[in-house]
A and B are shown apart, each in its own frame.
Chain A
Amino acid sequence: MRKTAPGAGAIGFMLVIVIAIAAATMTKAAFAAPPAPNGGFVWKDGPEVYTKVCGYCHEQGVGPVIRGRALPPVYIRNVVRNGSRAMPSFRIAEIDDESLTKLAEYISAN
C-alpha cells in the first residue's frame, strides 16, 4: 500500500479504488496484524453492568439507591436511555438492549 496519495481534487473517484484496495490489503497484509487480539467486550449479565457502571454512583451516594425499591423495569430502562437531570444517558453501544433488559429486571427484583 505504498501508492501515491490522491490529489485533493481526485478524491471522489480515487475513493472507490482506495476503499477496495485498502479493505482488501492494507490492514491485513501491509502491516503485521496486531498481536493476539482479544474478542471485543460484551456484558455477561445484569449484575455485571450494575457493578461495573451503575454501582459507582448508586452505591456511593452520588445517585439515589435504586435496588430493593421494585422500580418498574420500563422506568429504569427509560432513565438509562434518556438520562435524567444529573444522571447521564447510556447508549445502545454502551449497554445493548438485551443487557439493559436484564439489568433493569435485576435492579427491580433485587
Chain B
Amino acid sequence: MASKYIALPHGVSEQTFDAAISAFRGVLGESNVLVSAEQLAPYIKTMMPVPDSDHAPSAALMATTVEQIQKIVGICNKYKVPVWPISTGKNLGYGSAAPAERGQVVLDLKRMNRILEVDKELAYALVEPGVTYKQLYDHIAERKLGLWLSMPAPSAIAGPVGNTLDRGVGYTPYGEHFLFACGMEVVLANGEVLRTGMGSMPGSNTWQVFKWGYGPYLDGIFTQSNYGIVTKFGFWLMPAPPVFKPFVIQYQDEEDIVEIVETIRPLRINGIIPNAVVIAHALYEAPTKARRSDYVTGSGSISDEAVRKITNDHNLGIWNVYAALYGTQEQVDVNWNIVRQAFGKSGKAKILTEKESAGDPAFAYRAALMRGDMTLKEFSLYNWRGGGGSMWFAPVSQARGGETLKQMSLTKEILARHGLDYSGEFIVGMRDMHHVVDVLYDKTNPKQVKAAYECFDELVSTFSAQGYGIYRVNTAFMDKVADTYGPVQRKINKTLKKALDPNGILAPGKSGIRL
C-alpha cells in the first residue's frame, strides 16, 4: 500500500482525503495537521486487547480556537470525513487518545488550553478543553484562591473537560464530576455555537452558577456522546475546608464488604462522610507496595492465600475503605465520633488515621486524591503484571451490601477463569457504587491478550444478563455495551444523531452511536 496515510476514513478515497487535508492545512497551518506515522505514533498506543491498527487515526488536527473548529466541521461535512474530538486525551484504559474506528481524524484540543475564569467567591472555573488539572491546580495555588479540585487518579496529566464529558469520577465531596458541571459551549456539526443553560442569553452572568437554564436541560446529551464538540466548560470548585481528616478502615475478609457497605450507606446519604469513598480490594492497593512476581509463579490468577500473605506483609486489609471528613474542627470532631461508633460496632474494623499511616504509600496517594492534590501513584497498577494492558470494567451497583458482594464474587470468578486477578474497588456515590475493576494483562503476551478480550466480553455479557449495567467502556466494546441497554435507547440516540449531525461526522461509534 503506497498511501501517504497510515489509515483512511471509512469510505473516503485517498484523493478526497488529500483535498480534506489541504483544506485543514488552510485553516490550521501545515504544522498543526499531523499525518506521518511518526507524528501519529502517540495516538496509536492503547491498552486494549485488540490490534492498535484497528484504532489508528488517519490524521490529527491541533486546533486552538472556536472559529477553527467551526471551519473544520465545515470541511468534514463537505468531504464526509469523521473527526474524533479529545481534550487532554488521557482516556487510559478506555481507549486513550485513539479514535473509536480506524481512519477517523483526531481533533486534538490539548493546545486550546486557556483558563478563562476562576471565581474565588462563587467558587467556579471556566476552562477550555486542553487545560489539565495540574495547570488549573498551579493557577489556583499561585493566586492563593483557596479552592480545591476534584480529579480522577491520572490527575496531573488528565483534565476536567475530557473527564467530565466521559462522566468520570474523583474522590472529594465533588467526586461525581458531572453533578458539578455548570455550563458548556459546544460547536455543533452544522458549525453553530451553542452555549448551554444560562449561557444562551446574551449578557447573562449566571452561566456558571445555575445549571438548568430555561427549557430542556441539554448538557447531558453532550456527555458520552457525539452530538457536539465542547469548547468551553464551566464547573464548581470546593472551597478549601479548614480541617481535612483522611482515614482508612481495614477489614480482613472479602465477605466483610456487606458490613462495610451497610455501615457506609447511611453515613454517606446523610452527609456525615461527604466524599466519594473508595472501598479498595487488597489487589488494587498492593501494587504501590509489592510485586506480583514475588507472590505468584506460573500462569493463572493469584490465589487467596497469596493475597492474604500480601495483606500481612504490607499492612493492608482485604478491603481498605478510604474516606475523609471536611469542615471546621468542631464539625470534624462530631462526625469522627459518629464514624468511629458506626464502624466500631462489630469489632472487625481497624481504623487508621494519618498518624498511624504515616509513610504508607497507599494511604498517602489516597489522601492526596481525597483533597484534590496531584499524584500519579495509582499507575503502580500497571507494574502488577507489566506489559501495559488494561481495560476498566465498570458496572454500576446499588449501595447495598449483598449486591456488592455478589458483583465482586462474580467478577472475581470470571477473571480467575481467564487467569486474571481481581484488582477492584467500589467508588461510593450516595445510593450507587461505581464498581471499577482494572482488567490487567500483559499486552506483549498474545495469550494474555486473547484471554483479556474473552474475559471482558464474558464480563459484559454475564453482568448485563443479570441486569447490571456498565457506566462507561473502552472503544473496543462500545457497541456491545450499547446493546445491553436495549433497542429503544439505541434508536433514540440515533434519531438525535440524525437530527444534529446528518452527515455523521462527529465521533461515529462513540457509545455505539452512529448513523
Residues in chain A within 8 A of chain B (CB atoms): 1, 5-6, 8-9, 11-12, 14-16, 18-19, 22-23, 26-27, 30-32, 34-41, 52-53, 56-57, 60-62, 81-94
Contact = CB atoms under 8 A, between A and B. Distances in A.
B248 interface: no
A82 B190 contact: no
Which 7 A-B pairs have CB atoms at the shortest separation, nearest pair first? A86-B382, A93-B110, A89-B42, A56-B376, A85-B388, A83-B45, A91-B42
Nearest to B134: A52
19 contacts: A15-B190, A19-B74, A31-B199, A40-B128, A41-B113, A53-B134, A56-B374, A60-B375, A81-B41, A82-B41, A82-B45, A83-B42, A83-B45, A85-B443, A86-B379, A86-B383, A91-B89, A92-B39, A94-B110
Contacts of A5: 190, 192
Given A34-B117, A41-B135, A18 B38 contact: no
Given A8-B499, A89-B43, 11 more contacts: A15-B77, A18-B192, A23-B67, A53-B156, A57-B376, A62-B377, A62-B379, A62-B382, A81-B42, A82-B41, A91-B60
Given A31-B202, A38-B114, A23 B71 contact: yes
A27 B361 CA distance: 47
B114 A53 contact: no
A8 B45 contact: no
Interface string B373-392: 01111011011001110000
Contact of A40 (B34, B64, B189, B192): B64
B392 to A, nearest CB: 15
Interface string B493-508: 0000011001100000
Contacts of B157: 53, 56, 88, 94
Given A41-B135, A56-B376, A87-B388, A93 B202 contact: no
Contact of B498 (A8, A16, A52): A8
* Highest count of chain B CB atoms <10 Å: which of A9, A52, A85, A86: A86
A91 B387 CA distance: 20
Interface of B: 34, 38-39, 41-45, 60, 62, 64, 66-67, 70-71, 74, 77-78, 88-90, 92, 96-97, 108, 110-117, 126, 128, 130-131, 134-135, 138, 156-157, 189-193, 195, 199, 202-203, 232, 361, 374-377, 379-380, 382-383, 386-388, 443-444, 498-499, 502-503
A8 to B, nearest CB: 4
Contact of B131 (A26, A36, A41): A41
Contacts of A83: 42, 45, 388
Dominant secondary structure of chain B at its interface with chain A: mixed
Contacts of B377: 60, 62
A32 B199 CA distance: 10
* Highest count of chain A CB atoms <10 Å: which of B374, B379, B387: B379
Contacts of A16: 74
B388 A92 contact: no
A85 B314 CA distance: 26
Nearest to B498: A8
A1 B70 CA distance: 15
B444 A88 contact: no
A88 to B, nearest CB: 6
B387 A88 contact: no
Contacts of A84: 388
B26 to A, nearest CB: 13
* Highest count of chain B CB atoms <10 Å: which of A15, A36, A81, A91: A91
